[in-house]
Amino acid sequence: MRKVRIVRKTKETSITLTIDPDGKGNVSVESGIPFFDHMLTAMTKHGGFDVTCIAKGDLSVDCHHTIEDIGIVIGDAVKQSLGEGKGIKRFAHAIIPMDESVAQVALDCGGRGYLVYTGTFGNKMLGTIPADLFEHFFFSLCSHAGITAHIIFSGKNDHHKCEAAFKAFGVALGDAMSVSGKNKGVPSTKGTF
């Protein structure tokens, strides 16, 4: 069983998160930031893994700490869940359209945290979230999980671009975390991540 529960408490946030890579896409997210909950729900549902997340943050300041820390906790949970990486597929990619927008994600759950993020939003805010915070979320997640991810998106509608990116990331992550059945060992020429 690769199900993991993590609790993180700081002076800025309190987060309890459970992730199950072998789930069915069941999701329950309560961050106090409706648009972000919508994005995480899309990511998890289409990724086919289970996530429960209850986050309380200093939203009276702004949403930065809450979104950043959720990325950190998801990343820590993914890393802990995958352990040594034995038997996982490791590499995956997805191309997801949403009306006029499209997002492409290629990722490697091989222990090296790195993010290449290519795409822009037309507005400075998406809902109540500064647009640049989405890149920071993915950076926090990838650096803590040890995931190399390339996220590329384009389109006209900011909501569609953002949602396509979250869905593509979720689909690729769910696939990369899955047990391949081809190899019982660590999928690395080094024998370790």
CB atoms within 10 A of CB 110: 21
Q: Establish if 155 belongs to a structural domain.
A: yes
Q: Can you tell me the mean pLDDT for 125-143?
A: 97
Q: Establish if 191 belongs to a structural domain.
A: no
pLDDT at 190 over 90: no
Query: Looking at residue 120, which CATH number applies to its domain?
Result: 3.30.230.40
Higher-scoring residue by pLDDT: 142, 180: 142
Tokens, residue 189: 């020429």
Q: Establish if 41 belongs to a structural domain.
A: yes
CA dist., res. 71 & res. 139, Å (int): 8
**What domain range includes position 50?**
4-177
pLDDT at 58 over 90: yes
Structural domain count, the chain: 1
CA dist., res. 123 & res. 43, Å (int): 22
Q: Establish if 172 belongs to a structural domain.
A: yes
pTM greater than 0.85: yes
Q: Establish if 188 belongs to a structural domain.
A: no
